[in-house]
Chain A
Amino acid sequence: MRFDQYRAAIRFGCGLSPVIAPAVSASDMLSSLRGDDLLARRFPIPGFDIVLSAMVEMQAARKKSRRSNSEAEQRNFTEMRRARNRELRLESAGWFRNTLMRRISTQDGFRERLAFFWADHFTARGTGGVTGVGYMPYVEEAIRPHVSGRFADILKAVVTHPFMIDYLDQTRSAGPNSRIAKRNARFSGLNENLAREVLELHTLGVDGPYTQDDVRQLAELFTGLSISPEKGFMFRRRFAEPGAETVLGKRYGGDPARLSHVFNALEDLATHPATAKHIARKLAVHFVSDAPETALIEALEMRFKQTSGDLLAVYEVLLEHPDSWSSAQGNVKQPIDFIASSLRALAPTPDQLPTNPRAIYRDLVLPMSLMGQPWGAPLGPDGWPEADGAWITPQRMAARLQWGMAMPYQLRSFLPDPRRFARDALGPDLPKPVEFAAKAAETRSEAVGVVLCSPAFQRM
């Protein structure tokens, strides 16, 4: 099997739309990806500064209330903090809406899917307070600009991003012999969390050739990576462990400690053969199948190695390899893919998609939680599960059915002709039972719901 424009839009894009034609070739898709990020401009999501400036504001207010030592001031501060958090949460509903609008309106759907894939590969989440809304700004800033660059670029952007540093407890990790540890007992040593996940999840993979000693050494090398609300990312030399560290048999660093030492190690990890293998497998599993063909994984791995992780070159293999186009059952859509592709198929006008933050939460964000995907908040740093069976459990499935049957009518009370809708949403491969059900339903709303809930639409 080779490139098929309908399958391409469903499997590698954001789904079919009655008003936007699918890309006609792999090179068409890649050239969109090479071009400007048009949708980010049209439906903006702020960078992480919005979170940092809220932190600065909050710290100043906290200081003020502490200094005043009066109960009224304390109450004012608590009130202000709550109000500011609420305001940010409501604002972030608009960012989520823009995430959906991008998927509904784009001709470059592969970019949206890749941004999600890498955001999941480099999972980070808020740790409380204003960081609770940090996920989308983090992705916008650290991931999205690099999705068609080199793997090493994303890795470096992520490992030095305040959101990741905060999430994996790097901020206060100090070398046991660092200047700060000698002066201040509060900074007494390492925190291994970021170093471990960089090796296990971000680069080599859990089966990769590293040991507990490598985790320790990388954690020592990482000392100094830190944040401040005013500056965002900071390299704090006082925290850095003196001397060189040996990771996977190679020495990095020395005195004085520099950020470039960390980058050197990240470059090597990013281009390590085990990383090539790990990333190749993850791409094939995410885009093609829970159990992808070995030939596909090997081709991806080979291209990754040959190009030292040039992602556009790797994607070219993904889009051109025959095993990517198998007509066998594709992956189950994750809730974000299901909701966004449903909306894309329904093609609402912009004013039909809820704009009120509370309505966005109620009708789009909460249902996704019930489907098992609380937006931006997976359970652990390994991100969302890929196995189809993890999403189609009775309790999660119930939420999909409930949304699919109820929401289209809510969104556009004048629904399209179901027979046409079925063809628009599923393309020429429309299965007979779905075609029949679209005709046999008692109401338009029921027919559209059944199409969206059919496995043919739920899979990619």
Chain B
Amino acid sequence: MTKFQSISRRKFMSQSLALGCSLAASPLVTPVALASAPSENRLVVIILRGGMDGLDVVRPVGSAEFAELRPNMAGDGLDLDGFFALHPSLQDLMPLWERGELNFAHAVSTPYRDKRSHFDGQDILEAGTGVDALGRIRDGWLNRLLQSMPGMHAQAAYAVGRSDMLLLKGAAAVANWSPDAALNLSPQAHRLLELVMHEDPLFRDAMLEATELSLDEASSRNSAPVMDEDDMMQAMRANNRRQRNGASAENIARFAAGKLRDEARIAAFSLNGFDTHDRQAQALPNALDRLQSAILMLQSELGPIWGKTAILAMTEFGRTARYNGTGGTDHGTAGVMLMAGGALRGGRVLGDWPGLSEADLYQRRDLMPTRDVRAYAGWAMRDLFGTDANFIERILFPGVDLGTDPKLLL
């Protein structure tokens, strides 16, 4: 994986923290609402890892070539607009489609081409840059967005779950937490840990943030403070128990929704399992089920805020147009992006359809990309947060051509 510099997140909190000062007494670590965020809109970005097969998820059943390429898929999708049909595993999203709260953008890709590496592909997707930045990526595009939004406070954006997300890394303060994490320490242990970590900013900042966020969570769970060795062991084991079902897509989405109902405006997490080289018909439904559960959980938990929310689900690349020899598909180029939320002007499959004849395929093997996936994300930022077009094209997504306005929001 490409290395990026680790940037100390809560600099503003830790710089003034005196050596050995009690954490509990520090006003800097109680959640402080700074200036209100510039927008009431909410954004959720879901990174779909492994390369989701766009041709299977949003099936161009109206195309004669599709029936040849994917004979088993031509019949059983859920009709969207007469030409495209949705994968049956996403059927519980159909009510959203009918209410105009679901969009797709087809034949999209990042600028990444040809080597088809997951890891470089994901880095480019999360960095939001062109391919020229590979090897010297410093931050994620969602973090650069935050840097452009004055008055955003540290808990305005959440990276949720245990995986490490480049998408939100960078100079702007971001909260990182997982619904299955907890930290219970005695006050004395805290003081000593602060002391030994003081000169190592990576450790010091991570502990400060862990302490602050676990205090939030603990107060919502009413857990008792830990005082002795046995308490500590019990806390660790309780933590283990939570872990067994803690990191499911639903729990992650529920946790994210809780934060978005509160002070957060932006949340991001990732879902895995889209790398379907073998027996895709069995493998992909599991991954899609997690995606669907996450979206529906966000919808139900966000309540009235759903109307101000847009979810963008993006993947590093699509897959080969043809099946490979083992009932799966190999790494490809263009794919599909999913958008959901009450803020959307939905019910549309967007994009310029490139066709599927041999000559239409990219390198005669993959769906041809006809638009930069970052253009849709860029328009979404413009509509949700009023982000300046010049900023989008130069800083947020360097080199992107925003093109015509797809008018994503109501």
Q: A191-B325, A446-B188 are in contact. Are A406 and B162 (CB under 8 A)?
A: no
User: Nearest-CB distance from A438 to chain B (Å)?
Assistant: 9
Whether the Cβ atoms of A406 and B330 lie closer than 8 Å is no
Whether the Cβ atoms of A392 and B328 lie closer than 8 Å is no
Whether the Cβ atoms of B1 and A212 lie closer than 8 Å is no
B195-220 to A contact mask, C-beta < 8 Å, 1/0: 11111101100110110011000000
Task: Give which listed residue, B181, B199, B232, contacts A405 with CB less than 8 A.
Answer: B232
User: Nearest-CB distance from B382 to chain A (Å)?
Assistant: 31
Q: A379-B49, A392-B202, A434-B196 are in contact. Are A172 and B189 (CB under 8 A)?
A: no
A375-398 to B contact mask, C-beta < 8 Å, 1/0: 000011010011111101111111
Q: In the assembled complex, which residues on chain A have CB atoms less than 8 Å from the CB atom of B6?
A: 387-389
Interface of chain B, helix or strand or loop or mixed?
A: loop
Q: In the assembled complex, which residues on chain A have CB atoms less than 8 Å from the CB atom of B116?
A: 196, 212, 215
Cα–Cα, bound, A405→B187 (Å): 13
Cα–Cα, bound, A290→B331 (Å): 29
Max chain B CB contacts within 10 Å: which of A181, A329, A366?
Answer: A366
A439-460 residues at the B interface, CB under 8 angstroms: 440-443, 445-446, 449-450, 453-456, 458-459
Whether the Cβ atoms of A405 and B324 lie closer than 8 Å is no
Cα–Cα, bound, A366→B328 (Å): 33
A98-134 to B contact mask, C-beta < 8 Å, 1/0: 0000000000000000000000000000000000000
Interface residue B235 (Cβ < 8 Å from any Cβ of A): yes
Q: In the assembled complex, which residues on chain A have CB atoms less than 8 Å from the CB atom of B210?
A: 394-395, 397-398, 401
State which of B81-89, B91-99, B236-244, B351-359 sits at the interface with chain A: B236-244
State which of B28-36, B172-180, B339-347 sits at the interface with chain A: B172-180
Cα–Cα, bound, A20→B265 (Å): 54
User: Nearest-CB distance from A425 to chain B (Å)?
Assistant: 12
Whether the Cβ atoms of B164 and A172 lie closer than 8 Å is no
Cα–Cα, bound, A377→B93 (Å): 31
Q: Which residue of B lies closest to A175 (CB)?
A: B325
User: Nearest-CB distance from A397 to chain B (Å)?
Assistant: 4
User: Nearest-CB distance from B35 to chain A (Å)?
Assistant: 24
User: Nearest-CB distance from A329 to chain B (Å)?
Assistant: 7
Interface residue B193 (Cβ < 8 Å from any Cβ of A): yes
Task: Give which listed residue, B119, B178, B214, B275, contacts A206 with CB less than 8 A.
Answer: B119
Cα–Cα, bound, A382→B192 (Å): 37
Interface residue B323 (Cβ < 8 Å from any Cβ of A): yes
Interface residue B120 (Cβ < 8 Å from any Cβ of A): yes
Whether the Cβ atoms of B232 and A397 lie closer than 8 Å is no
Whether the Cβ atoms of A169 and B278 lie closer than 8 Å is yes
Q: In the assembled complex, which residues on chain B have CB atoms less than 8 Å from the CB atom of A379?
A: 49, 163, 272
Cα–Cα, bound, A446→B358 (Å): 67
User: Nearest-CB distance from B327 to chain A (Å)?
Assistant: 8
Whether the Cβ atoms of B323 and A188 lie closer than 8 Å is yes
Cα–Cα, bound, A4→B199 (Å): 24
Interface residue B12 (Cβ < 8 Å from any Cβ of A): no
Interface residue A217 (Cβ < 8 Å from any Cβ of B): no
Max chain A CB contacts within 10 Å: which of B180, B183, B326, B331?
Answer: B326
Interface residue B182 (Cβ < 8 Å from any Cβ of A): yes
Q: A437-B192, A446-B188 are in contact. Are A187 and B229 (CB under 8 A)?
A: no
User: Nearest-CB distance from B249 to chain A (Å)?
Assistant: 15
Q: In the assembled complex, which residues on chain B have CB atoms less than 8 Å from the CB atom of A450?
A: 189, 192-193, 196
Task: Give which listed residue, A385, A396, A406, contacts B236 with CB less than 8 A.
Answer: A406
Whether the Cβ atoms of A455 and B214 lie closer than 8 Å is no
User: Nearest-CB distance from B126 to chain A (Å)?
Assistant: 13
Task: Give which listed residue, A290, A387, A455, contacts B203 with CB less than 8 A.
Answer: A455
Interface residue B184 (Cβ < 8 Å from any Cβ of A): yes
Q: In the assembled complex, which residues on chain A have CB atoms less than 8 Å from the CB atom of B207?
A: 394, 397, 401
User: Nearest-CB distance from B273 to chain A (Å)?
Assistant: 10
Q: A372-B162, A433-B195, A450-B189 are in contact. Are A191 and B330 (CB under 8 A)?
A: yes
Whether the Cβ atoms of B181 and A437 lie closer than 8 Å is no
User: Nearest-CB distance from A245 to chain B (Å)?
Assistant: 16
Interface residue B39 (Cβ < 8 Å from any Cβ of A): no
Whether the Cβ atoms of A193 and B243 lie closer than 8 Å is no
Max chain B CB contacts within 10 Å: which of A176, A362, A372, A396?
Answer: A396
Whether the Cβ atoms of A387 and B328 lie closer than 8 Å is no
Q: In the assembled complex, which residues on chain B have CB atoms less than 8 Å from the CB atom of A443?
A: 229
Whether the Cβ atoms of A169 and B185 lie closer than 8 Å is no
Task: Give which listed residue, B198, B243, B277, contacts A433 with CB less than 8 A.
Answer: B198
Task: Give which listed residue, A212, A370, A445, A454, contacts B180 with CB less than 8 A.
Answer: A370
Q: In the assembled complex, which residues on chain A have CB atoms less than 8 Å from the CB atom of B330?
A: 191-193, 196
Q: Which residue of A lies closest to B20 (CB)?
A: A433
Q: A212-B363, A398-B183, A398-B210 are in contact. Are A380 and B192 (CB under 8 A)?
A: no
Interface residue A211 (Cβ < 8 Å from any Cβ of B): yes
Q: Which residue of B lies closest to A186 (CB)?
A: B327
Cα–Cα, bound, A124→B195 (Å): 40
Cα–Cα, bound, A215→B332 (Å): 13
A195-223 to B contact mask, C-beta < 8 Å, 1/0: 01000100000110001100100000000
User: Nearest-CB distance from A269 to chain B (Å)?
Assistant: 16
Cα–Cα, bound, A362→B240 (Å): 7
Interface residue A152 (Cβ < 8 Å from any Cβ of B): no
User: Nearest-CB distance from A14 to chain B (Å)?
Assistant: 22
Task: Give which listed residue, B193, B243, B328, B331, contacts A196 with CB less than 8 A.
Answer: B331
Cα–Cα, bound, A380→B235 (Å): 31
Whether the Cβ atoms of A394 and B239 lie closer than 8 Å is no
User: Nearest-CB distance from B66 to chain A (Å)?
Assistant: 18
Whether the Cβ atoms of A380 and B202 lie closer than 8 Å is no
Q: In the assembled complex, which residues on chain A have CB atoms less than 8 Å from the CB atom of B275?
A: 380
Q: In the assembled complex, which residues on chain A have CB atoms less than 8 Å from the CB atom of B200?
A: 329, 455, 459
Max chain A CB contacts within 10 Å: which of B325, B328, B331?
Answer: B325
Q: In the assembled complex, which residues on chain A have CB atoms less than 8 Å from the CB atom of B181?
A: 370, 394-395, 398-399
B307-335 to A contact mask, C-beta < 8 Å, 1/0: 00000000000000001111010110000
Whether the Cβ atoms of A173 and B240 lie closer than 8 Å is no
A151-200 residues at the B interface, CB under 8 angstroms: 168-169, 171-174, 176, 181, 187-193, 196, 200
Cα–Cα, bound, A332→B200 (Å): 11
Q: A402-B182, A441-B192 are in contact. Are A388 and B202 (CB under 8 A)?
A: yes
Max chain A CB contacts within 10 Å: which of B182, B206, B272?
Answer: B206
Given contacts A192-B277, A380-B119, A398-B181, 10 further A-B contacts (CB under 8 A): A200-B117, A370-B162, A389-B6, A392-B206, A407-B233, A407-B236, A409-B229, A442-B188, A450-B193, A456-B196
Residues of chain A whose beta carbon lies under 8 Å from any beta carbon of chain B: 168-169, 171-174, 176, 181, 187-193, 196, 200, 206-207, 211-212, 215, 290-291, 329, 332, 362, 366-367, 369-370, 372, 379-380, 382, 385-390, 392-399, 401-403, 405-407, 409-410, 431, 433-434, 436-437, 440-443, 445-446, 449-450, 453-456, 458-459
14 A–B contacts, CB within 8 A, in A order: A173-B325, A187-B325, A191-B330, A200-B117, A215-B116, A329-B200, A370-B180, A382-B118, A399-B181, A401-B207, A409-B233, A443-B229, A450-B192, A455-B196
